[in-house]
């Protein structure tokens, strides 16, 4: 599918005192801050479980529920970004996310209240569907895989949450990380309003109802194909980032701070590998990169299914999964930049991003249920290995043919 070429201004230094590099940096920082907010509940999942006497399933629901809005909400947010531009959507969503952050940190005092607050925290996760079309419009086709991979580093906001939430809560009180994030969100909302600029010559989305536009996007074969890849790749990353602290505590009896730190290491490696996946996709082709990534996921998930000792086999396997899942996410959006019509990148991103987020919602529920009824996680990781293999074969067949068409 052919895309319109960016304008000369979109390729070069930009106008009005800005440049593609500056805009990419601003979008990446904003994405990271909003993802930090999105992931605030996960590091405290075990503490909430003890405080409210939650079962394994209830605890997994609590840490997974922010993913719902952060996933499904990407569909309307992506369509709105095509129409209104990131200069409007980034500060708007950052401002709205402040409300659930403060609600969870200062008001919520029951499991139900935490579920409501966590649900609304998902607003922070929708900013992904703002940043991808924004960055895509600023860069020419041959650089989009790299640029979108760099933007994807913003998912490291979950690592910031893993590193800081428990220490801040222990040092100052449960409210501290939430108030800090609210202040940072407010600062970014103001800064983005004054500094963000949509690319010159940005192709605005066509008029029409949101659902009609979404249906037209779903009819593009590549949309559903890439949705599956992203549901497994990015969904796997999200699932590990929100549930790994609970898994490590249950399976290896780690303390909350130790489990959170190890999770942060997993997230950091996945974040670093996302731009690597984008760069490799520009050089080797995103389909080839995806094939290697899902082969690694299949192999290492099978290893973890046998629940080896954490040191060294378990640690090596989890870090390998982080690298493969991160790189596959970069490769998927290199494909989006290649096949999506330029005026529909936001809408395609919304649908694909929603699939990725929903892919991250299901595994924690499965893992929680498996652990509650079986007492270990072997079956859950065996299912991940089977899913990785199915995705590898799907990439080798329909996805490869679609990318060549």
- pLDDT for 276 equals 93
- pLDDT for 205 equals 56
| Nearest of 137, 196, 184, 163 to residue 341 by alpha carbon | 137
Among 22-31, 140-149, 248-257, 317-326, name the one with the lowest average pLDDT. Answer: 140-149
All structural domains of the chain: 16-195+210-404 (1.20.1250.20)
- For 290, other C-beta atoms within 10 Å of its C-beta total 32
The percentage of the chain sitting over the pLDDT mark of 90, rounded to a whole number, equals: 44
The whole-angstrom distance between residue 81's C-alpha and the CA centroid of its chain comes to 18
For the segment 181-209, the average pLDDT, to the nearest whole number, is: 84
Q: How far apart are CA 344 and CA 351, in angstroms?
A: 11
Of 349 and 52, which is predicted with more confidence?
52
| Nearest of 289, 278, 41 to residue 153 by alpha carbon | 278
Chain segment 13-54, per-residue pLDDT in tens? 344 447 899 999 999 999 999 999 998 998 888 889 889 998
Check whether 7 has a pLDDT greater than 60: no
Residue with tokens 């549901």: 231
Chain segment 112-134, per-residue pLDDT in tens? 999 999 999 989 989 988 998 89
State the pLDDT confidence band at 206, using cuts at 50, 70 and 90.
low
For the segment 199-222, the average pLDDT, to the nearest whole number, is: 69
- pLDDT for 213 equals 67
Average pLDDT, the chain: 86
| Nearest of 7, 279, 278 to residue 139 by alpha carbon | 7
Give me Rg for the CA atoms of the chain.
20
State the pLDDT confidence band at 340, using cuts at 50, 70 and 90.
confident
The whole-angstrom distance between residue 54's C-alpha and the CA centroid of its chain comes to 26
What pTM, to 2 d.p., does this model score? 0.75
Check whether 9 has a pLDDT greater than 50: no
Residues 6+ apart with CB under 8 A from 304: 314, 317, 318, 321, 381, 384
Of 175 and 10, which is predicted with more confidence?
175
- pLDDT for 400 equals 86
Of 215 and 109, which is predicted with more confidence?
109
State the pLDDT confidence band at 197, using cuts at 50, 70 and 90.
very high
């Amino acid at each position: 599918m052919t895309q319109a070429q960016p304008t000369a201004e979109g390729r070069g230094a930009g106008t009005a005192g800005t440049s593609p590099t500056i805009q990419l940096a601003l979008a990446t920082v904003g994405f990271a801050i909003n993802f930090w907010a999105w992931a605030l509940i996960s590091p405290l999942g075990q503490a909430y479980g003890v405080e409210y006497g939650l079962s394994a399933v209830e605890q997994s629901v609590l840490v997974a529920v922010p993913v719902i809005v952060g996933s499904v909400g990407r569909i309307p947010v992506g369509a709105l970004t095509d129409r209104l531009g990131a200069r409007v959507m980034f500060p708007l969503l950052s401002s709205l996310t402040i409300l659930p952050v403060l609600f969870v940190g200062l008001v919520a005092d029951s499991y139900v209240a935490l579920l409501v607050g966590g649900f609304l925290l998902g607003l922070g996760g929708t900013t992904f569907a703002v940043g991808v079309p924004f960055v895509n419009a600023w860069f020419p086709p041959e650089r989009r895989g790299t640029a979108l991979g760099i933007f994807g580093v913003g998912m490291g906001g979950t690592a910031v949450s893993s590193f800081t939430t428990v220490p801040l809560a222990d040092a100052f009180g449960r409210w501290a990380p939430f108030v800090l994030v609210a202040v940072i969100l407010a600062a970014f909302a103001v800064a983005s309003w004054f500094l963000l600029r949509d690319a010159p010559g940005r192709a605005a989305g066509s008029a029409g109802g949101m659902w009609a536009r979404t249906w037209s996007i779903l009819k593009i074969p590549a949309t559903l194909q890439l949705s599956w890849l992203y549901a497994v790749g990015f969904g796997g990353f999200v699932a590990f980032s929100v549930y790994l602290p609970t898994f490590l505590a249950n399976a290896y009896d780690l303390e909350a701070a130790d489990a959170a730190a190890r999770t942060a290491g997993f997230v950091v490696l996945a974040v670093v590998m996302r731009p690597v996946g984008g760069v490799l996709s520009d050089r080797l082709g995103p389909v080839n990169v995806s094939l290697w990534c899902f082969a690694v996921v299949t192999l290492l998930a099978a290893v973890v299914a046998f629940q080896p000792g954490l040191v060294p086999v378990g640690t090596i396997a989890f870090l390998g999964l982080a690298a493969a899942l991160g790189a596959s996410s970069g490769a998927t959006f290199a494909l989006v930049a290649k096949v999506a019509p330029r005026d529909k990148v936001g809408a395609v991103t919304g649908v694909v991003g929603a699939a990725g987020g929903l892919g991250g919602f299901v595994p924690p529920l499965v893992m929680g249920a498996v652990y509650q009824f079986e007492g270990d996680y072997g079956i859950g990781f065996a299912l991940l290995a089977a899913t990785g293999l199915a995705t590898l074969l799907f990439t080798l067949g329909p996805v490869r043919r679609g990318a060549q068409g």
